Amino acid sequence: MPELPEVEVVRRDLEKEIVGKRIKSVEVDGMRSIRRYKTRKAFTDQLEGQKIVGVARKGKYLLIKLEEKRVLVVHLGMSGQLLRAKSSREEKLKHNHVTITFTQGGQLRFVDPRTFGEMFVTNFDDIDKDVEELAHLGLDPLETAMSWDRFGALLTSHKTKLKPLMMDQRFLAGIGNIYSDEILFAAGLRWDRASDSLSDQETRRLYRSMVEVLQDAVKYRGSSLADEQYVDLFGKPGEYQLHHKVYAHDGDPCRRCRRLIVRQKVGGRSTFFCEACQV
């Protein structure tokens, strides 16, 4: 599933590519991606003729701003992709569910093999009401800066294991399995370390590692795993997977101490860490 860095890369691409364009027509193939609507027309009527005035992000949701405070909300789900096509003549990929054509030429296409993603239009002020997850969203590590003391107080107040806490969207927005492992390795902390047991120095390391790992991931345009279900707006895979230190590196020597990285199943997910470096 795309995590915070991948969604942020797509947001920045969209901001450069589609802001200022007017929607000429919208084509929907299948109802799964617009499942909040009873008919295709109910969805397309809210978009056709609208001008795109901005692109924002809230957690892992993309907010394509329209005129009159309307917004097209896009959630990529497990396998969703937004792809820019220069013209309608470009061949469509399989599982292309929504195609937005602009009056100036070119298209924006929503591809989603597993169909867990969705698109819908709402008023900007109603987003939190329409998406319950967003109403209780936690700190956005790419957008919200805070002091180490404040971050430490938040950690201490939860009294739980670090990895599940970091993946809790009510605590931190957008961090999933990949980046929680990479952040904890960078900070030298085990996944099952109690969140209220960190020293001041460890709290600083964790906060700094979180910011640096996420910023680097955006710089390298996200992580594309073997299935390449994540690609950017232009269909290109990210490169941050080439810089992963522990994720999917079980059996490889740790880059710090040369001890082998281990893999452990936690709550149905694989967790990767170094038993020597992370304490």
Q: Which amino acid is at 86?
A: K
Structure tokens at 175: 């961090």
237 among known catalytic residues: no
202 is catalytic: no
Exactly one of 2, 57, 190, 193 is catalytic; which is it? 2
Q: Distance between CA 67 and CA 254 in Å, rounded?
A: 51
* Closest to 276 in 3D by CA, of 162, 200, 164, 188: 188
Q: What distance in Å separates the CA atoms of residue 207 and residue 84, rounded to the nearest whole number?
A: 35
Q: Which two tokens stand for residue 7?
A: 């969604």
Active-site option among 3, 6, 8, 17? 3
Q: Which of 65, 70, 161, 269 is catalytic?
A: 269
Active-site annotation holds for 3: yes
Q: Which of 58, 60, 84, 193 is catalytic?
A: 60
| Strand, helix or coil for residue 273 | strand
Residue 2 bears catalytic tag: yes
> 242: exposed, middle or buried (C-beta count within 10 Å: 0-12, 13-18, 19+)?
exposed
Q: Distance (Å, rounded) from C-alpha 11 to C-alpha 76?
A: 12
Give the catalytic positions in this structure. 2-3, 60, 269
